[in-house]
Amino acid sequence: MYNQKLFRREQLKFMAFNLIAFTIIFTLFSIIIIGQVRSTLYSNADRELRSFTERVEQFESNPPNDAFDRDPRGPNPRIIVIHWSKEGKILNESEIGTTLFENYFSRYTLETSTLGDITNLVIDDTYYFRSLLVNDTSVGSYTQLLINTDAEQSILDNFTRLITWFAAIFILLSILASYLLSKRMMQPIIRSWNKQAEFVENASHELRTPLTIIQNKLELLLTRPDVRIAEQIEPIALSLSETRRLSKLTSDLLTLARADSAETQLDTQLVDLGHLLLEVCTPYEEIALSQDKAFLLTVNGTIYVSADPVRLHQLMIILLDNALKYTKAGDTISVMLTNRDQKPTISVSDTGIGIQEGHENQIFERFYREDTARTRDTGGAGLGLSIAKWIIDAHAGTIQVEANRPSGTTFTITL
Ligand code: ADP
């Protein structure tokens, strides 16, 4: 319940982060696009204004009879020229034209703070101009050049509206995308969290059982302080065996924990597989014989691989331990090394009790045991094959399990 709330809160946090990121990206994108369109639209008008000013300056330094007659292109008819007196009075009412002047410019006052800069000017909240004010002593004090940009402004308004709509729609869509993304991002976290919790629970359970046995046996011994050790062999032996079990379990847990944190590095070197197998199998051959089981080791040729010999040794011990654990007297255990399809392949088969059909993948899961009661007797905690799988994965190899006909199991490792 608490976890659910925690996951929900984290998911909401992820969602908020995603949403903020999307919104910032869309907003920046819109601002840049609108800015670009705006400068492109106005650039033509601004160029016209600048070139007109150059002509005014030329006129000032070298006044001809008619300044505009000298330029073969003549003045741009879109440009309105206003000459201002020092006191802010329009000097060329008649040039501007009565309609324009009376309707618009008679109420317009001179603004000198933008001298030399091209600015936007809105008259009557309806008509848009680009405006450039320059010093001009030849006619009055200042000359203001205006160019009507209603068409540009209308394109810009439409475009801004369009982009705003699109940005709004994309931001709305990004709420959905953020939700789905955050949900997806949380899935592996939830999965590994649950796995970790399950692992800790299983590990504690596995540790508790031998500890309880040891505690009970020791308490029992304490109640009889006068009894001789020779008479208490059973509780002492059991405690010892449970201690060994605990020690194996903790070392397995440590191996897996280190494997999870990628702390364990492989010490890779060139390994003679036949030699390694001979070394690992020799003691098992003796144990098998002592249990009336046949043990066969076949090595086809000399095969070298680049691997960590300590880990390969550990892997073989896991498989051979299992082969011994899950076979009875009269069964056979065979280990074979071949070079199948140019790949070094080791197979460990037995004619023992075998694995239930359909459980072939589960046996590699941590703490998985085919039959808890059965494997408790054999001393396993269900960690051996998970470690084997990790070793194989670390070597970029494969491990497969199949039924050995008519009975038993075959593990095939390819390196
Ligand atoms: P355990 O320590 O319990 O043997 P493992 O991870 O090594 O744990 O194996 C997981 C389970 O796979 C075992 O409990 C057992 O049921 C099954 N298993 C593994 N090897 C064999 C085998 N050679 N024959 C039959 N069952 C096996």
pLDDT single digits (tens) 182-217: 889 889 888 888 888 888 888 898 899 899 999 999
pLDDT band at 342 (very low <50, low <70, confident <90, very high): confident
Instruction: Output the six-digit token pair for 316.
Output: 């073989």
Cα(405)–Cα(351) distance, integer angstroms: 8
How distant, in Å, are the alpha carbons of 194, 206, 369 from that of 250? 21, 10, 18
Predicted confidence at residue 373, as pLDDT, reads 46
- Centre of ligand 1 from the C-alpha of residue 4, in Å: 34
Q: Return the ligand 1 atom nearest residue 318 CA.
A: 7
Is the per-residue pLDDT at 67 higher than 50? no
Mean pLDDT to the nearest integer, 164-190 = 89
Neighbours of 36 (CB within 10 A): 10
Q: For the segment 288-307, what is each residue's pLDDT rounded down to a tens digit? A: 999 999 999 999 889 999 99
Cα(338)–Cα(274) distance, integer angstroms: 9
Cα(55)–Cα(63) distance, integer angstroms: 10
CB 142 within 8 Å of CB 110: yes
Mean pLDDT to the nearest integer, 229-244 = 92
Q: For the segment 264-286, what is each residue's pLDDT rounded down to a tens digit? A: 778 999 999 999 999 999 999 99
Is the per-residue pLDDT at 71 higher than 60? no
For a pocket test of ligand 1, which of 315, 317, 326, 361 has the largest count of ligand atoms closer than 8 A to its C-beta? 326
CB 66 within 8 Å of CB 120: no
Cα(209)–Cα(215) distance, integer angstroms: 10
Predicted confidence at residue 331, as pLDDT, reads 95
- Centre of ligand 1 from the C-alpha of residue 404, in Å: 15
pTM, entire model: 0.64
Instruction: Output the six-digit token pair for 257.
Output: 């924990």
Neighbours of 393 (CB within 10 A): 12
Looking at the chain, the whole-number percentage of residues with pLDDT higher than 90 is 42
Tell me the one-letter amino acid at 278: L
- Centre of ligand 1 from the C-alpha of residue 225, in Å: 41
Q: For the segment 346-398, what is each residue's pLDDT rounded down to a tens digit? A: 999 999 999 988 888 899 998 888 875 455 566 678 899 999 999 999 999 99
Predicted confidence at residue 280, as pLDDT, reads 95
Instruction: Output the six-digit token pair for 136.
Output: 């001009």
Cα(390)–Cα(318) distance, integer angstroms: 12
Radius of gyration of the chain (CA): 44
Residues comprising the chain, all counted: 415
CB 319 within 8 Å of CB 409: no
- Centre of ligand 1 from the C-alpha of residue 90, in Å: 102
Give ligand 1 pocket residues (Cβ under 6 A): 318, 322-323, 325-326, 350, 352-355, 363, 368-370, 375, 380-386, 409
